Amino acid sequence: MNNKLFLEKNIPDLCIQSIVQKQGDEHCVIEVNNTWIFRFAKNSDVQQHMGIEVQLLKMLENKIACSIPKVAYYFPDAYCFGYKKILGVPLAATMYEELTEIQKKQFADDFAQFLYELHSSITLDAAEKIGLTRADWPLKPDILQSRLSKVLTDKHLQELFVHFINEYQRIIDADKKLELVHNDLHADNILIDPATKKLSGSIDFTSAAIDTVYHEFRYLHLIDMELIPLAIQAYNQKSGENLAVGNAYIYCMATEFSRLTEALEKEDFPKTAGIKDRIGKLGAFISTF
């Protein structure tokens, strides 16, 4: 049974008038009547985690000021759940560039508020009871070093990696405080209201985990390098934490080196060019902190 027929059979009152289907690496995402979003897990890992995600989203109801998915339908045997579409568009780099300085600071403040509310929403014991565990991405220093050393031949990147990996290990050794983290806050999962330019919501809690707060900032360099210090400063003010901007950039680099490892292992050389360029830019930023 295809996904459309499944929805028609199991939600007869839905009255499907329009349907848009998108294929991702982990989910088939179906938008119905420009109102409902249904996600069907595509692989065993995501299928296994979907029940955890649904429980987490229900626990987070009314605890987050901005919009997050509110589970209205859940079909565990079909590995599918549905929620009302959250208004907003992904925060693309081009859109962020068009924001005024005031709007950028306001967005950073809204983003930090979302993180602060998320991190303080439920206890670690409650998170562990529903099955959340430590993040497995980016790769930990020992795994990253072992795998990348076998495939990395670029001399400049080898030198950069030596300096990076020592800092990465130092940060992990020093930062023992764990939180509930979204762990996948790239542009597609951060929604902005195109009219007000404010944060409207966050989606896709598939990768939610129990780990350090730095995981939340590791994709922001793909939107704008300068967003990271703005978001860190705002988060520190709200949480009373003392997160270091340089450490956040190290986590960005850990993500890119992890991506590079997988690309080189698969011999996906066209993909490596962009990753190497981002690593170089991050290295330049890190040297200033």
Q: What is the pLDDT of residues 72-97, one digit of tens each?
A: 999 999 999 999 999 999 999 999 99
Percent of the chain with pLDDT over 90: 92
pLDDT at 1: 60
Quick check: 191 pLDDT over 80? yes
Binned at pLDDT 50, 70 and 90, residue 263 comes out as very high
pLDDT at 25: 83
Q: What is the DSSP letter of 85?
A: P
**SS3 of 109, please?**
helix
Domains in the chain (CATH in brackets) are 3-84 (3.30.200.20), 89-286 (3.90.1200.10)
Rounded to the nearest 10 degrees, how much is the dihedral formed by the CA atoms of 49, 55, 56, 60?
160
Binned at pLDDT 50, 70 and 90, residue 175 comes out as confident
Quick check: 259 pLDDT over 80? yes
Which stretch of DSSP H or E encloses residue 130?
none
Quick check: 166 pLDDT over 90? yes
- Write out the two tokens for 51: 């029940």
Nearest to 245 by CA among 234, 260, 256: 234
Percent of the chain with pLDDT over 70: 99
Give me the mean pLDDT over the 202-225 stretch: 97
For the entire predicted model, the pTM comes to 0.95
CA distance 133 to 22: 28
Binned at pLDDT 50, 70 and 90, residue 271 comes out as very high
pLDDT at 289: 63
Single-letter residue type at 55: Q
CA distance 255 to 115: 19
**SS3 of 110, please?**
helix
Q: Which residues of 90-113 are buried (b: 16+ CB within 10 A; e: fewer)?
A: ebeeeebeebeeeebebbbbbbbb
Binned at pLDDT 50, 70 and 90, residue 284 comes out as confident
Nearest to 163 by CA among 254, 28, 225: 254
Quick check: 41 pLDDT over 90? yes
CA distance 269 to 282: 20
Give me the mean pLDDT over the 204-210 stretch: 96
Give me the mean pLDDT over the 145-170 stretch: 95
